[in-house]
Chain A
């Protein structure tokens, strides 16, 4: 079945630094990928839709300058959390669609100290 690979699985960084998270579709092409954020014991909230070859579409309330999304190829989308602060600590999950199914990456636990 289709697989979405996400790296890293866990990252700890200092406040003010930037962190890049990669999301790859391993055996299919994904013109669109989605980035979600999940706080502890809460549901997933869509942050943005990543579109191959064009600008990402951000959900209301998500700062596009803080969460930079690049979708340079049909198999790779990246999310960069710029100037991370402790309130950005969260579980970030990407997903990509193949046919009728949405597949999710394994998630990235970001902890900002």
Chain B
């Protein structure tokens, strides 16, 4: 079955370390997105990509970086510059033509 795979489900890192979250989709979707969810808040857009080798900042891009070398993959790196990285991270993808959205199961990152 097609879908989005995020790994790992839980991730622990020490403060000051960079960490990369994986997102892979086999839906042949054009666009991919990274969102962050904090307790009691709505999801917020970190980065998105419409095509390979192109990506745009979202509302809270500071301290994050992404790449889109393949259509299927959109990894997110949480850098040491991100002041409050502990959060739940969701990857999503969509088709241009009908705006249908598919979400991954998320990665819960805890920085200690």
Q: Do A and B bind each other?
A: no
